Chains A and B, each alone.
Chain A
Amino acid sequence: MKWDWNAVSDFMPHFWDGLLVTLQILVLGSLVSFALGLVWALLMRVPSRFVTWPVGVVTEFVRNTPLLVQLFFLFYVLPEWNITFSALTTGVVAIGLHYSTYTMQVYRAGIEGVPVGQWEAATALNLPLKRTWTAVILPQAIRRVVPALGNYVISMLKDTPLLMAITVLEMLGEARLFSQQNFQFTEPLTVIGVAFIVISYLASLALRALERRLAH
């Protein structure tokens, strides 16, 4: 096996395309999972079984079925009901939805971790419930959960290649395409492997910086 630098330079234009798509999936998927996970976590606190039961069943179902199955389902089954999105949009929705069922548990722990004295102080000051959530509880809960959310971002990064299965050309998709056309596997796969490590590392640095900023 020889290492061919020409193959690397031939692959680079495709690599940049793939990198851009991977980062899009990661950023948009994270935002979807952060937002949706918070919605699930808050709905689970509504004091009515008519809310918590369906939310609990749906999120339990999504969490316990494989992401790949969900990707195929959204990509191939929804169009039969005349619901069609681009492959990338479908992938972002699927990965965001899947990870929201994990982030909801992170938020739940964060919310439950806010000392009961904070709720009592809010009651003593007669703060309305909505204001108690937005000004007192959530800012403290979210600060607590940033490290755990960050870990799911890195986890999600490692799941982005699954989108290849629904024709999204992210980094692995580009590498595979290049390999099949040029019969050179080592170089493109090595390049994207290194790219995954670099992105993970940068993400963890950013996360640590954010944690420090949020400390009070």
Chain B
Amino acid sequence: MPTDTPPNPETSPERSSGELIRFEQVTKRFGENTVLDHLDFSVDAGKHVTLIGPSGSGKTTILRLLMTLLKPDEGTITVDGKKLFPASEKERREARKQIGMVFQQFNLFPNMSVLRNITEAPVTVLGMSKDEAVERAKGLLDMVGLADKCDARPSQLSGGQQQRVAIARALAMRPKVLLLDEVTSALDPELVAGVLDLLRDIARTTDITMLCVTHEMNFARDISDQVLMFDAGRVIETGPPEQIFNEPENDRTREFLSAIL
């Protein structure tokens, strides 16, 4: 499982056959503040990668760049060989089809029923027939344990239920990559386990690639093939979770982990 070579900013990383996501020399600044500094890294298809690090270290920025919610100042980002940056709007739309995202605040559409939240994009973006989209949405709702909530409005659901709908909505687009941005941080503590269990199931039973920013270190340990430790816009340590969590080599990693564990 954890066979990836650590990304090395000094040499151009070799393109492995299963490589799905690739950041090359990506720089992102917010004003004077450089959040990502000539970052190189890649993720192989089917891997579950967790990004950890202190806040402001650039983890969430990476997810937001991949989702094209932000634009890099420099560098290239590719997904499944398709350019995300730099690219035309049309190329970007095409490449973006491979990617789904689950947000900290769920971001369900409050003006739509739960079912329509899930069918909207498959029908309008993928051109799926309404019947097929509804059938698949019901299957997904069943999987996330909310088969009886089809007609509910998001506001009638608990935070944990909303987040499970948001996961179903992202999966309905059949993305190759699922981005998880602190998906349990906005939840009441008693609701966290249900969402994490669902994600563990998805990680175990599908071949979807996951990129995950989380403060749930036990969850990270469970599902990750690889952990990337970020500090000041760079990957300072990478490895399988056992190694990062049990025998971190970098002092900053040790400090960070002892502060949060």
Contacts and interface: CB of A to CB of B under 8 A. Distances in A.
Contact of B107 (A120, A131, A139, A216): A120
B111 A126 contact: no
> Interface centre among B93, B97, B110, by most A CB within 10 Å?
B110
B69 interface: yes
B67 A118 contact: no
A182 to B, nearest CB: 55
A118 B169 CA distance: 14
Interface residues of B, number: 26
A125 B173 contact: yes
Contact of A123 (B69, B110, B111, B112): B69
A136 B99 CA distance: 20
Nearest to B69: A120
B174 to A, nearest CB: 12
Interface stretch (B6-14, B120-128, B202-210, B248-256): B120-128
B212 interface: no
Nearest to B104: A117
B153 A127 contact: no
Contacts of A118: 107, 109
Given A123-B67, A124-B100, A124-B101, A117 B107 contact: yes
B contacts with A: majority SS: loop
A117 B125 contact: no
B173 A216 contact: no
A136 B111 contact: yes
A115 to B, nearest CB: 8
Which interface residue of B67, B69, B108, B109 has the most chain A CB atoms within 10 A?
B109
Nearest to B89: A129
Interface residues of A, number: 18
A152 to B, nearest CB: 23
Contacts of A121: 103, 107-109
Interface in B128-180: 153, 155, 169-170, 173
B241 to A, nearest CB: 27
B96 interface: yes
A123 B89 CA distance: 12
A131 B110 contact: no
Contact of B67 (A124, A127, A135, A139): A124
B103 A131 contact: no
Given A120-B69, A216-B153, A127 B120 contact: yes
A120 B153 contact: no
A135 B169 CA distance: 16
B34 interface: no
A118 to B, nearest CB: 6
B120 A135 contact: yes
Contacts of B155: 216
A132 B97 CA distance: 16
A14 interface: no
A126 B103 contact: no
Interface in A114-152: 115, 117-118, 120-121, 123-128, 131, 135-136, 139-140, 143
Interface of A: 115, 117-118, 120-121, 123-128, 131, 135-136, 139-140, 143, 216
Given A126-B121, A140-B109, 14 more contacts: A115-B107, A117-B103, A117-B107, A120-B107, A123-B68, A124-B101, A125-B100, A125-B121, A125-B173, A126-B96, A126-B173, A143-B111, A216-B110, A216-B111
Cβ-closest 4 pairs across A and B: A125-B121, A121-B107, A117-B107, A124-B101
24 contacts: A117-B103, A117-B107, A118-B107, A121-B108, A123-B69, A124-B69, A124-B99, A124-B103, A125-B100, A125-B121, A125-B125, A125-B169, A126-B97, A126-B173, A127-B125, A128-B124, A135-B112, A135-B120, A135-B124, A136-B109, A140-B110, A216-B110, A216-B153, A216-B155
Interface of B: 67-69, 93, 96-97, 99-101, 103, 105, 107-112, 120-121, 124-125, 153, 155, 169-170, 173
